[in-house]
Amino acid sequence: MSRRKGAGGSAAPARPRLASGLVVAALAVWAGIVLKASYAALGWPFTGESLRALTCMPSPGDLAVAARHIGRFGAASVALLSCFGVGRAALGSRGLAFKNPWEAAGLTLAVGQALCGAALLLCGLAGILHPVPLAGLTGAAGLYGAVALRDWLRRWRGDPSWLAPWPRVHPVASAALVAALAGAVLYELPFLLAPETFYDALVYHLNLPNLYLIEHRIVPTPSNIYSGIPAIPQMLYAQAMAVGGPAAARWVNAAWGPATGLLLAGIAVRWGLGGAGLWAAGFYLLTPLVLYESHRTSVGLAWGFFLTAAFGALLAALEEPAGTPERRRWWIVAGLLAGTAMATKYPAWGLPFAAAAAVLFHARRAPAARARLPELALAVLAAAAALSPWLAKNAAFYGNPVYPYLHETFTSSPASRAGWLDLRRKHLSAAEADWRALNSDANARDLRRTVTTWDGLRDYLRHPWDFSTRAHFFEAELMGPLFLCLVPLAFLGAPAVPAYPLLALATAACWLPLSLISGMPRFFVPCLAPLSLLIAAAVFALGSAAARSWILAAAAAVCWGNLLVTAVSPSGAYLAGVVSGRVPEPEFLRGGKTGYPTPPYAGIEFINRHAPADAKVMLVGDPRGVYLERRYLASSLFAAQDFEDVFNSSASPEDLVQRLRRAQVTHFLVNRGELARVRPSMYISPQGKVNYDGFWRRYTERVFAEGTDLNDYRVLVYRLLSEEEAGRPHETDDLFRTAFNLSPL
């Protein structure tokens, strides 16, 4: 393998520390142990079932269905192009010199999305988040983004200076990886073309942006415990939803995976290891967790994208000569992206510690090029500008900048609920926002148990092994065996690239503290992106082309194993009808399925068709409100439901009616199936029973019931009656009393 200069000027990193044969032998033994633990329980029938799942891609039944799919994909593309255009406008005049096209594309998109997300947050807080103007502005920015993308193509197509011979890899290994990526596309497409049914997305990832667009502003929703979590992806989903609905937001989420691959390729080219970046992208995208996150609208891929972008900008800043304007600009970009990564969710707040570890290590190794205090101040200010609006929003809405956490130490804002149910409370009680139950649901670790008991320490130390080898387990909890197989290579033959140990230290500093407080596998998705680059770069640093090819061929085979494990569960076969158009989307959404139990869509559809435009819906038992087109009260588990709160805290049935009318509630959507599931976590006080007994039969009229059998799985819609209507005979029932086991008083 020939040595060469990378695009960033670094020397080629081929510097094997052990004989290649010994490295391959040691890796083969270790990988054999890991792979046996992963796949011993699986057999050929499982493999055959997985291969069949990859070939179940349905074709659209007619042109109208195809046009619908293309339109939604196009809407997402417009939203992404608009962010790319904003990023190009922000960076184009600042003299930020990119070293290769992958870096330019990835960081431009990241900066654009950071700025667009912040702007949408401010618009929402200002009450000007109107979907029609937002769609128009997105379309205009998308046109500019298309022009910027054309200029990007011309710029780098005409500048081959960043290209150089890559270390040779046997074409069979490369073909196997490309084929696995193509299989992943076939696996993902049915999910991306079908309507979203992922529970978390329907409760908050898409539910809150949908509510904000309906209200034309960001509103306080203390009954949805997730509403206080910083969520820049929700703002970007709102942008896509304004153009193409929830389906467009699914594509935006899926795009963050390949965009992260662009960033990995850009860093690798800076290191003089361009091929390693493309393999790193494959390793990352073919991780079971990433495959799963790609077709359910959430925040893991966005977190990973902004984290990788922040690391890339930080490494670029440290590479520039000290004291130059270029270096200062890189520090600002690094800070902006770090703050945006922290604005994806609270667990991302470990990023500053990772960045500090890398900066301090760099200062020890290269004192002359260490980060200066003014540079660090620029980065901190940029990060604070990205994160602080979320904290200010929480302080204004809930009286707690880190709502729902530590709420018992904060006094809630008197106005936090005044616009909703006028509940006269000065503090959010533990029943209203049970953040400890939320943590438990997210596999939070008991830190004291972890560090003081043998069982806790054993569970902690086993986490990487279980996370990697439980191939028979749910793919949402599986990292796959590839990383565990190849991580030793990072120690045996790390490339001679100055930035390599910095990225390794930063990745470890992200992973280790998070692993002490949480065992939730998907929280570690962001760390898998830089880890993919670290192991790929270590493979490409091997001096033997044969050893490199053998290892990469084996790695491609493991990637295929990851894909097959993921493809069989959940298989996209059950989506064939709705994707092809044989099953209408409303019919699909009305029917329950794995991961989408007892759906409320029948009632939602009735409200969208028949409720007046100014209606407002209280959700009873089921917080999934994404597909509602009328105003509604957003709620969630781990917080007091709105109906639970208003029933318990009203002084009398008459007070209850007046409070509902002041809150402009006109309808109740009751999902008996979900209500039965969450009922044990609710509490109806004696006064709440009195209020119910004097209110429900008199002031509500049942206007819709799915089917005729009022069993535990019915979806019903009730209308709140006026005093005049309440005095006349009307159709109602004791369904609510039965659901809550409220005996006559």
Element (H, E) at 668: strand 667-671
Whole-number pLDDT of residue 368: 67
Higher-confidence residue of 145 and 638: namely: 145
pLDDT higher than 90, residue 470: no
pLDDT, average across residues 435-448: 78
> Of 404, 66, 11, 457, which Cα lies nearest the Cα of 230?
404
- Measured distance CA(188)–CA(179) in Å, rounded: 14
What would the mean pLDDT of 662-683 be, rounded to a whole number?
86
Q: Which residue has the higher pLDDT, 408 or 27?
A: 27
> pLDDT, tens digit, for every residue of 557-610?
999 988 888 887 656 677 888 998 999 999 999 987 777 888 999 999 999 999
pLDDT at residue 164 greater than cutoff 70: no
Strand partners, 717: 669, 704
Select the more confidently predicted residue: 12 or 533: 533
User: CB–CB of 528/47 below 8 Å?
Assistant: no
The confidence score (pLDDT) of residue 112 equals 97
What pLDDT was estimated at residue 710? Answer: 52
Q: Are 485 and 39 in contact (CB under 8 A)?
A: no
> What local confidence, expressed as pLDDT, does residue 9 receive?
44
Q: Which stretch of DSSP H or E encloses residue 717?
A: strand 715-720
pTM for this prediction? 0.92
pLDDT value at position 7?
40
Assess whether pLDDT exceeds 80 at residue 536: yes
Q: Does residue 126 surpass a pLDDT of 90?
A: yes
What is the structure's pLDDT at 418? 37
**Using CA atoms, how far apart are residues 511 and 350, in angstroms rounded to an integer?**
9
Mean pLDDT for the stretch of residues 176-183: 94
pLDDT at 4: 40
pLDDT at residue 11 tops 60: no
What is the per-residue pLDDT across 70-101, written as a single tens digit (0 to 9) for each? 999 999 999 999 999 999 999 976 667 888 99
Tokens 């990988």 belong to 31
- H, E, C per residue of 166-206: CCCCCHHHHHHHHHHHHHHHHHHHHHHHCCCCCHHHHHHHC
3-state secondary structure 21-83: HHHHHHHHHHHHHHHHHHHCCCCHHHHHHHHHHHCCCCCCCCHHHHHHHHHHHHHHHHHHHHH
Q: Name the amino acid, one letter, at 121.
A: L
161-175, 476-490, 583-597, 618-632: range with highest mean pLDDT? 618-632
| pLDDT tens column, 640-650 | 788 888 888 89
Read off the pLDDT of each residue in 669-693 and give the average, rounded to a whole number: 84
Alpha helices in 470-614 (DSSP H): 482-492, 499-517, 525-540, 545-567, 576-580, 585-590, 601-610
Which of these, 713, 720, 680, lies nearest to 696 by C-alpha position? 720
Q: Is the pLDDT of residue 344 over 90?
A: yes
Query: How many Å apart are CA 570 and CA 198, to the nearest integer?
Result: 12
The helix or strand, by DSSP H or E, that contains position 616, with its residue range, turns out to be strand 616-620
Rounded Cα gap, residues 123 and 134, in angstroms: 10
Q: Which residues, 6+ apart, have CB-to-CB distance to 512 below 8 Å?
A: none
Which pLDDT band holds residue 419 (cuts at 50, 70, 90)?
A: very low
The helix (H) or strand (E) run that includes residue 618 is: strand 616-620
| Residue 495 confidence class, pLDDT cut points 50, 70, 90 | confident
Q: Which residue has the higher pLDDT, 195 or 708?
A: 195
Q: Mean pLDDT over residues 150-158, rounded?
A: 86
At residue 407, the pLDDT reads 76
**Is residue 729 over pLDDT 80?**
yes
Mean pLDDT taken over the chain: 85
Provide mean pLDDT across the span 479-499. 85
Which residues on adjacent β-strands are paired with residue 639? 433
- Check whether 49 has a pLDDT greater than 60: yes
- The angle that helices 232-270 and 274-285 make with each other, rounded to 10 degrees, is 140
DSSP character for 160? G
The residue that leads in pLDDT, 272 or 245, is 245
Q: Hey, what's the torsion of the CAs at 554, 557, 563, 564, to 10 degrees?
A: -130
Domain map of the chain by residue range? Answer: 20-194+229-567, 597-739
For residue 422, the model assigns a pLDDT of 41
* 702 residue type, one letter: R
Q: What pLDDT does 356 receive?
A: 87
Mean pLDDT of 377-389: 96
What's the residue count for the chain?
745
Q: What are the helix and strand counts (H, E) for the chain?
A: 31, 5
Mean pLDDT of 640-662: 90
Portion of the chain with pLDDT greater than 90, in percent: 49
Helix boundaries (H) for 286-350: 288-294, 300-319, 325-342
pLDDT at 29 over 80: yes
Min mean pLDDT across 130-139, 508-517, 521-530, 707-716 is at: 707-716
pLDDT: which is higher, 480 or 257 = 257
718 phi, psi to nearest 5 deg: -120, 150
Cβ atoms of 358 and 505 closer than 8 Å: yes
| pLDDT given at position 8 | 43
**What's the CATH number for 597-739?**
3.40.50
Greater confidence, 51 or 234? 234
- Over residues 641-668, the mean pLDDT reads 91
For residue range 194-241, list pLDDT tens digits in order: 999 999 999 999 999 999 999 999 999 988 999 999 999 999 999 999
